[in-house]
């Protein structure tokens, strides 16, 4: 019987109760749903002192990096980049430990500290989209991506929020298989687990600014009505503009017609369902607003250059790779 994987979750300021709870809950659910202890989680801070979370609550920890043992999986967790007095010493200690660890991770914005320690040079990595530009400027040797998470050899990085759950579930899947992570996702009411190649989603309000509320509102309506798509006329009426105005705004700001944007949303949703659920192709087509399986397959192939069945086969191959333990 294999020993539990030891997880050292290192909390760095600023750290929120939401991020901490999400990370802790994933491993707790893995243990509970597996009916045995798969993971032993310890909570650490940079100085061994209780960390004040962003909500003002002091969270107790069991020590600092000196408690990390060879073979531990070290996960740094942070919701922002906040300087601290002993940052140089902390990064030096990370660099010293790294060769003895099967995995060292930067969750949320903690990739910043891995990069500061020189541990991401030459590795693919990601960070929350709000920090991507200064990160790229500060650490040009890092192969920065916009994916929701990156697992490159013994380095793991991911964005915050839902990306943290996607990434941690993928790590668990690599060790213990897809059945367990599907059960965990179900317990968390997650509709799907995004693969690493999924891109971080920058909110339209950020991309377009607050001056384009009608485009943002139209996209929100599209996202809420994938199974029974609205017509362009209905979208225009519901957002208080003419069809011509709506089409002009989409062309100006998203470089495509509303119908094309809507179709891409539906097809991306279908792709996720094909990769992460056992629903039939006909069911998925209907859930994404297509009138028949044949129509869905034709449109899907035209967009992705791959039939839905081929996508599902490729997804099964990815799942097999995920279920093959490479860490720990």
pLDDT digits (tens, 9 = 90+) for 202-216: 555 555 655 678 888
Rg of the chain (C-alpha set): 22
pLDDT at residue 49 in the model: 94
pLDDT at residue 320 in the model: 42
3 state SS of 321: helix
Pick the range with the lowest mean pLDDT from 95-99, 202-206, 219-223: 202-206
pLDDT digits (tens, 9 = 90+) for 143-162: 988 788 999 999 999 988 88
Greatest pairwise CA separation for the chain in angstroms: 66
pLDDT at residue 312 in the model: 83
The number of angstroms, rounded, from the C-alpha of 300 to the middle of its chain's C-alpha atoms is 24
pLDDT at residue 278 in the model: 82
> How far is 242 from 232, CA to CA, in rounded Å?
10
Contacts 24+ apart (CB under 8 A), 134-143: 135/111, 139/115, 142/115
How large is the average pLDDT for residues 125-134? Answer: 84
CA 98, 100, 105 angle in degrees (round to 5)?
A: 40
Residue whose entry in the numeric block shows the structure tokens 């069809």: 243
Q: Choose from 123-132, 240-249, 274-283 the range with maximum mean pLDDT.
A: 240-249
User: Structure pTM?
Assistant: 0.65
Element housing 10 (H / E): strand 5-11
pLDDT at residue 94 in the model: 95
Who contacts 209 (Cβ-Cβ below 8 Å, separation ≥6)?
none
Query: In the structure, how many helices (H) and strands (E) does the chain have?
Result: 14, 10
Who contacts 29 (Cβ-Cβ below 8 Å, separation ≥6)?
184, 187, 188
> How far is 158 from 111, CA to CA, in rounded Å?
8
Taking 50 as the threshold, does the pLDDT of residue 323 lie above it?
Answer: no
> How far is 188 from 194, CA to CA, in rounded Å?
14
CA 138, 142, 144 angle in degrees (round to 5)?
A: 95
């Amino acid at each position: 019987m294999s020993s539990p994987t030891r997880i050292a979750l290192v909390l760095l300021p600023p750290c929120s109760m939401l991020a901490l709870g999400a990370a802790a809950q994933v491993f707790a659910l893995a243990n509970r749903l597996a009916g045995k202890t798969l993971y032993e989680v310890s909570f650490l801070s940079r100085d061994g002192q209780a960390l004040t979370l962003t909500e003002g609550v002091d969270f107790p920890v069991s020590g600092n990096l000196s408690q990390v043992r060879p073979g531990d999986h070290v996960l740094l967790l942070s919701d922002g980049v906040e300087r601290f007095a002993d940052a140089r010493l902390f990064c030096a200690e990370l660099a010293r430990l790294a060769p003895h660890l099967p995995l060292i991770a930067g969750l949320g914005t903690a990739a910043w500290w891995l990069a500061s320690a020189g541990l991401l040079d030459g590795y693919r990595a990601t960070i929350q989209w709000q920090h991507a530009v200064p990160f790229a400027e500060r650490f040009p040797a890092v192969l920065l991506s916009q994916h929701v998470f990156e697992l490159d050899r013994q380095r793991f990085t991911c964005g915050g929020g839902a990306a943290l759950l996607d990434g941690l579930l993928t790590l668990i899947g690599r060790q213990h298989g897809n059945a367990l992570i599907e059960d965990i996702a179900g317990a968390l009411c997650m509709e799907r687990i995004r693969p690493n190649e999924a891109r971080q989603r920058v909110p339209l309000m950020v991309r377009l600014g607050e001056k384009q509320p009608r485009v943002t509102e139209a996209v929100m309506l599209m996202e809420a009505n994938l199974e029974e798509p609205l017509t362009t006329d209905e979208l225009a009426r519901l957002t208080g503009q003419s069809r011509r105005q709506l089409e002009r705004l989409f062309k100006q700001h998203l470089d495509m017609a509303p119908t094309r944007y809507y179709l891409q949303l539906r097809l991306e949703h279908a792709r996720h369902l094909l990769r992460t659920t056992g629903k039939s192709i006909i069911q998925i087509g209907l859930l994404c607003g297509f009138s028949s399986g044949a129509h869905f397959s034709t449109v899907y192939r035209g967009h992705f250059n791959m039939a839905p069945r081929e996508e599902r086969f490729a997804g099964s191959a990815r799942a097999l790779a995920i279920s093959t333990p490479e860490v720990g």
